[in-house]
Amino acid sequence: MSEGRILEVDDEKKIVESCRLYLEHAGFEVVCAYNGEQALEEARESRPDLIVLDLMLPRVDGLEVCRRLRAGSQVPILMLTARSTEEDKILGLNLGADDYLTKPFSPRELVARVRAILRRAPTTGDPLRFGSLEIDGERHEVRLRGEPVALTPREYDLLAALAHAPGRAFTRARLVEAAFGADSDVLERTVDAHVMNLRRKLEDDPASPRFVVTVPGVGYRFAGEVPE
């Protein structure tokens, strides 16, 4: 049985072939694309469980591919980038990527990252309700005023971690551990990018958040009692 279908997108065919071999050896089904247009077409047709997406692509670059995918899909995206600056990584996360890997990288690490993203299980139990916001762990769904909110898997994980301890102040380091795992190498600063995305999607006024509140000098907390 396949571990899942992966769409591998890179214009460097040697990288694609190497990653494909490792992913297939790990039990994944792999489909490949070599430019942005082909990636968008394959994503529609093959419906992958996860997309490994290079930033530097011909025709349509990886950031634009990510932006277009996020307009109608919440498929997990692992970005590959030769750009090692933190700002480039934050930009990718702001567009909805779930993780990133900097070139050059080990194909074994790629497989580990893919597995880590896919194995994040939704939190089960009765839905959590805070005013007009509902977090349904069984469905892995968030609703605001009864309407579904399109969150990425990492945005959902972060929101769920906060909401299961309403009123508690979390440091960024603690949020990384709680939402992404103790063995995660997610940078603490990326928490800020995910929080910004959550506020944009959940808040009437992101500058004055009601749900995910900043705790100065500490990090963030989820408001325990949210007014209607």
Which CATH class name applies to 128-222? mainly alpha
* Phi, psi for residue 180 in degrees, rounded to 5: -120, -5
Give the residue with greater pLDDT, 120 vs 187: 187
pTM over 0.75: no
Q: What pLDDT is recorded for position 159?
A: 92
Please state, in angstroms and as integers, the Cα–Cα distance from residue 92 to each residue in 2, 44, 98, following that order: 28, 21, 9
pLDDT exceeds cutoff 60 at 20? yes
Instruction: Indicate the domain borders of the chain.
Output: 5-118, 128-222
The C-alpha atoms of residue 43 and residue 50 are separated, in whole angstroms, by 9
At the fourth CATH level, the homologous superfamily of domain 5-118 is Response regulator (3.40.50.2300)
With a cut of 50, say whether residue 124 has pLDDT above it: no
Give me the pLDDT at residue 77, please: 92
| pLDDT tens by residue, 69-117 | 988 777 889 998 886 667 777 777 888 888 888 888 999 999 999 988 8
Which carries the bigger pLDDT value, residue 121 or residue 6? 6
227 — pLDDT class (breaks 50, 70, 90): very low
Which among 189, 225, 211, 53 is positioned nearest to 144, based on CA atoms? 211
pLDDT score, position 30: 95
- How long, in residues, is the chain? 228
